[in-house]
Amino acid sequence: MNIEKITLVQQAIVNFLENNQGNEVYTNLCSCGAVTMSTYGSSDEISFSQENAPFIKATNDMIMCNCNHCCNGWGVDVDEEDDEEDL
Alpha carbon distance 14, 67 (integer Å): 21
Alpha carbon distance 21, 18 (integer Å): 5
Count how many residues are written for the chain. Answer: 87
User: Count of alpha carbons within 13 Å of 18, Cβ hemisphere only?
Assistant: 6
- Rounded to a whole number of angstroms, the minimum distance from the CB of residue 1 to Zn ion is 20
Closer of 20 and 48 to Zn ion (Cβ): 48
- Rounded to a whole number of angstroms, the minimum distance from the CB of residue 63 to Zn ion is 9
Count, residues near Zn ion per rule CB under 5 A: 6
Positions in 23-82 near Zn ion (CB under 5 A): 30, 32, 34, 67, 69-70
Binding site for Zn ion (CB under 5 A): 30, 32, 34, 67, 69-70
